Structures are given as structure tokens and as C-alpha cells.
A and B are shown apart, each in its own frame.
Chain A
Amino acid sequence: DIQMTQSPSSLSASVGDRVTITCRASQSISSYLNWYQQKPGKAPKLLIYAASTLQSGVPSRFSVSGSGTDFALTITTLQPEDFATYYCQQSYSTPLTFGQGTKVEIK
């Protein structure tokens, strides 16, 4: 199975800050990397798929980079609605696997 490791597990930031979350795969997954946002009590929501394609309606302050084993999600100007938990997920092979999540909290 492909292991996905996110860092940090949590971070505190202020509105307007730039934040970056990293995700590392235990083997190359090419660009088969997806990012989800989850708010408390809600289902996850797909933000980005195929490593770099923003889902419809996702604001452009979300950007991504990486391929192979190392990926990053950056929120350039943090907004109040961005405080949530973010998960990476590989879709290179089954079983699909998720990172452990990164909780973005208000400082």
C-alpha cells in the first residue's frame, strides 16, 4: 500500500497569511494526487485533483505544486472560510490512501 504523510499535522495562522501543507508519498504516484477540505461536522470536499487541477468553484488563492512523491498545497491569502482540515489522497492505485490530515486553525 502507498503511505501518504502530511506535514504539519496542525498549524495556527491568521487571516491574510500564506500557508503551505506538504504531502509525501511512499513511492512515486506521478500526478495522481488529490486534496480535500473538511470542516467540522461536514463531509470532505474535493479541492484539487490530478495534482494541479482546481475543482470548479475553488478560489485561485489555492495553489499546488509537485509530482512524483512530493507535493504541496499553498493558500496564498488565508480567508476565514479556509480554516479547516486538509487531506491529501493518492489515486495511483488501490487501496486509495489518505494523509493523516492537517488542521488549519485560527491564531
Chain B
Amino acid sequence: EVQLLESGGGLVQPGGSLRLSCEASGFTFSSYAMSWVRQAPGKGLEWVSGIASSGGTTYYSDSVKGRFTISRDNSKNTLYLQMNSLRAEETAVYYCAKGGGIIAAELNLWGQGTLVTVSS
């Protein structure tokens, strides 16, 4: 079955860190760019970061640049998002999503999401 499965969400204090994982199955993970998209409670979708299929190119939204790091391990079919210096306003469901051959593409497969709560 073609799917993405996120994990690693939870409760973290402001200023804390968390690492999200996204395990892919059912497709050739190493052939596709991947992205992280978040959605605060009751709000819209916000693209956070993207990574090329090889892992050699990464992009970040201005709001997370310098604090978040996206990476991937193609041997493990897994995408990661290391989040540091978390802020309360970053409480959201974080989705991983499969792109096309490049980062700037439609997101044609989404995981179920993992909830990150930043609160003291």
C-alpha cells in the first residue's frame, strides 16, 4: 500500500526541540521530493520545508529557517524534520507529503499527520 506514516509529535515546552519522522512505503521513495506542511488548529495549510529526492537541496519557509532542519534517509525510506527553539504558535498538525521530481510540485500523497503541541 502506498502510504506515509508520521511519528514523533507530542508535547514540548517553548524553546524545546522535537524530531518528526515520516516513513514511506509502496513507492520508490528515493525518486521523489518531499515536503513538510503544517496546520495550526482551525487554520489553513502552511508549507514548512522541502527536500529534493537526493537530499542535496533543501528549502525552508522564512518562519522556520535557521531553527528547523529537514533531512531524509533514502536507505530507510524515511523523512525527518528536526525542530529546535519551538514557539507556542507552532502548535499544529505536521504532515509529510510526497511531491514530484522537484520540490516545487503538487503534493500528491499525504500522511495522516502528527500533532505537535508547544506549551508550558
**Residues on A facing B (Cβ under 8 Å):** 1, 32, 34, 36, 38, 43-46, 49-50, 55, 87, 89, 91-101
Contacts and interface: CB of A to CB of B under 8 A. Distances in A.
Contacts of B82: none
A94 B46 contact: no
Nearest to A44: B110
B111 interface: yes
A46 B108 contact: yes
B56 interface: no
Interface residues of B, number: 23
B107 A87 contact: no
B50 A100 contact: no
A91 B47 contact: no
Contacts of B37: 44
Interface in B79-120: 95, 103-113
Interface in B26-53: 35, 37, 44-47, 50
Interface of B: 35, 37, 44-47, 50, 59-62, 95, 103-113
Contacts of A101: 44-45
A95 B61 contact: yes
Those 5 A-B pairs whose CB atoms lie nearest each other, nearest first: A49-B106, A43-B110, A96-B47, A34-B106, A94-B59
Contacts of B35: 96
Given A92-B104, A98-B46, 9 more contacts: A32-B104, A36-B107, A43-B112, A44-B45, A44-B110, A89-B47, A93-B104, A95-B61, A96-B107
B116 to A, nearest CB: 15
